[in-house]
Amino acid sequence: MPLPLLVFDLDGTLVDTAPDLVDTLNVVFEREGMPPVPYDDARMMIGGGAKAMLVRGLEAEGRAVTSELLDRLFGDFLAYYADHIAVRSRPFPGLIDALDVLATRGHSFAVCTNKLEALSVLLLNELGLVGRFAAICGQDTFGIQKPDPEVLRRTIASAGGTPENAVMIGDSATDIRTAQAAGIPVIAVDFGYSERPVIEFGPDRVISHFTQLPGEISALARA
């Protein structure tokens, strides 16, 4: 049997992007004369893409969310974020070593994220990780996004894999539900941006550090 393709979420799973995303959100809000969103609150707004983060931030500030306002702020957000995408964002501890171990075992990797594809590629390139992934697919790659399982299926196909030989790794209910709907095993990390403990969403495995990932992949294969 082929070794599994490992499909990773990006924000809150591979990379701790919260510092740069929250900074960008608050720069955009400052330009609007709005107070900054506290870091811990804004961190929990990550996961559905930049536009969803803006909506959550506006709602938290009691602002009416019109399509005109949202489109304008979205453009401002993307422009600023693209120029500051890896100022403070870093891979989570242990990621590089885990990828090295898994690659040695013959695994291949892909990214399935609700971040825009171009920003995902830009971030991973800035961090020296882009070449590790056979496919990097965002919310605009296929015009669909998580939790629609089709985006995961298409990401797997783009990476040359099959659903029968793939595992998803993510940090949120959205990632877990996407994998479950696609019939794919899912490992959750508990250090990401989930507002509730990820174990509540029924993943197959939970890890607290990337040093645990190779062992959990092996355990899934044995099961």
Residues classed as catalytic: 9
Query: Per this entry, what is the length of the chain?
Result: 223
DSSP string covering 51-62, please? HHHHHHHHHHTT
Q: How far apart are CA 115 and CA 194, in angstroms?
A: 16
Q: How far apart are CA 147 and CA 176, in angstroms?
A: 8
Please state, as a whole number, how many other Cβ atoms lie within 10 Å of the Cβ of residue 149: 18
Q: In what order do the strands lie in the sheet with 166-170?
A: 135-137, 108-112, 5-8, 166-170, 186-189, 205-207
Residue 11, CB-side half-sphere exposure with 13 Å CA sphere: 29
Minimal CA–CA distance to 163: which of 143, 149, 146, 147? 149
Residue 77, CB-side half-sphere exposure with 13 Å CA sphere: 24
Tabulate helix, strand, coil % of the chain (nearest 5): 50, 15, 40
- Let me know: does 203 contact 188? Beta carbons within 8 Å: yes
